[in-house]
Amino acid sequence: MICEDYLTGAHSMDVPQETVDKEVQAILDKIKSKPDFNPNQLFDPEKHLAWKDEYFETTKTFTLQDLGITKTHTKPINNFGATYPFPLLTEDAIDIMKWEAFQPQVVKKYARLTNPDFSLKTNRHDFHIAGYPEEGHAPFTKSVYDHPRLKEIFSQLIGMDVTTTYGYDVNHVNVALADFDLPLDAPLYPEPEKGEDGKPIFKAEEVGSILGQHYDSTSIACVIMWECPQDKGGETVIITGDETPLVIPNIARPGYCTLLQARVIRHIATKPNTNSNRIATVAGYYPTAPILDNSCLTSVRPSILPRSVHDEFYTEWFDFRFKQLERVLADKRKKLWDAYKKGEMFDQKGVIEFSKECQQYLFDSWREMEFANNDPYPPPLFSKPYSELTYEVGGDDSK
Ligand SMILES: [Fe+2]
């Protein structure tokens, strides 16, 4: 049954006033107390970019093959897998982004608690904020993602030109705040068991996580750290091709960034295992070329993710998907006329294949909407081993 709450703004999942008054206010107070803090500016790479071009050489990157992933559930955009964290933005830049996200009126309108049904060990301090930069509440944040320099850096690391997806999935903020009623930095869970190499053994079922084991709904996830304790959890954990976890080391400094082809790599965002803040943002990217993207609604549809406010979210989603289709159709029309003018034979088979892909794209745009489908979440796909998936990486498109 469609539940009225998510149709009318998911207000049952509003962030409690107590959290806004205490923990959120403390974040704002801390930023405001910095003498050089100035929120009234736009992104300037000279001032706010921590990236240096030498990092193209020094940043550790993995292809899908490096991660042992040879089968996926949908077509990857290319062979890019993931990067280790690299310095992207300065701490000053992160302060302004945080300032914009945690304004009480933004939290009130755009933040919703994490859905407790799909997360482990979450509470009133765990929430998401999204959609606010697109609606004019965060000029600095918007100017960061709009800047061509960021796109250039990411495109080079990923090995293909990429750009930001629709507004709701650009700068989605994952927030897990320390509880002021408990001792700060106190351990929340027992120390994890250590393996023979002295490193903690990662057990997916034992860590707290903002979202359990999952695929993202956008092609590429760009995760930018805002705040996190050092060596105390909060890592992104990749499930590799042989189903073993690869813990991406948590360079906990603000402004560090990690890229992940999250649509085809199963992963977990862990919570810190101490009573501390972990705040990170995720921005979705997809190929700039006129090709049909592989994004979906699975983990972002409003009935699953309360921060996706129904009317705004679906309007943005269909604006994005229809625009994509328009671009691809325009490109194809041009190619058909060009071929005709060159005297080439009309490619019936090619046009049939192309039309089927467009049909599938339109179908995929709506098939996960609540009105059409209310399948349980998380879907069985999120726990299916890679070996049971059907798309061969680098293989023939037809599987
Ligand atoms: Fe994710």
Mean pLDDT of 97-125: 85
- What is the total count of domains within the chain? 1
Mean pLDDT of 254-275: 90
Whether 398 is in a domain gets the answer no
Mean pLDDT of 188-194: 63
Whether 397 is in a domain gets the answer no
Q: What is the mean pLDDT of the chain?
A: 90
What's the pLDDT score for residue 1?
40
Ligand 1 centre distance from Cα of residue 46 (Å): 30
pLDDT in tens, 140-184: 999 999 999 999 999 999 999 999 999 999 999 999 888 877 777
Mean pLDDT of 186-191: 64
What's the pLDDT score for residue 336?
98
Whether 319 is in a domain gets the answer yes
Mean pLDDT of 302-323: 95
What's the pLDDT score for residue 394?
78
pLDDT in tens, 77-87: 999 999 999 99
Whether 399 is in a domain gets the answer no
Whether 49 is in a domain gets the answer yes
Q: What percentage of the chain carries pLDDT values higher than 90?
A: 75
Ligand 1 centre distance from Cα of residue 206 (Å): 18
The winner for highest mean pLDDT among 70-79, 184-193, 197-206 is 70-79
Contact 61, 159 (CB under 8 A): no
- Domain hosting residue 281, numbered range: 4-392
Mean pLDDT of 88-108: 97
Ligand 1 centre distance from Cα of residue 335 (Å): 37
What's the pLDDT score for residue 154?
98
Whether 83 is in a domain gets the answer yes
Residue, of 273 and 209, whose pLDDT is higher: 273
What's the pLDDT score for residue 209?
58
Contact 265, 69 (CB under 8 A): yes
Ligand 1 centre distance from Cα of residue 217 (Å): 8
Whether 377 is in a domain gets the answer yes
Ligand 1 centre distance from Cα of residue 338 (Å): 41
When pLDDT is cut at 50, 70 and 90, the band that residue 2 belongs to is: very low
pLDDT in tens, 341-350: 999 999 999 9
Ligand 1 centre distance from Cα of residue 112 (Å): 17
State yes or no: pLDDT of 398 exceeds 50.
no
State yes or no: pLDDT of 378 exceeds 60.
yes
What's the pLDDT score for residue 335?
98
When pLDDT is cut at 50, 70 and 90, the band that residue 321 belongs to is: very high
When pLDDT is cut at 50, 70 and 90, the band that residue 38 belongs to is: very high
| Start-to-end C-alpha separation, the chain | 36
Whether 127 is in a domain gets the answer yes
- The CATH number for 126's domain is 2.60.120.620
Q: What is the CA angle 196-69-78, rounded to 5?
A: 135
Ligand 1 centre distance from Cα of residue 341 (Å): 46
Ligand 1 centre distance from Cα of residue 122 (Å): 16
pLDDT in tens, 387-396: 999 999 976 5
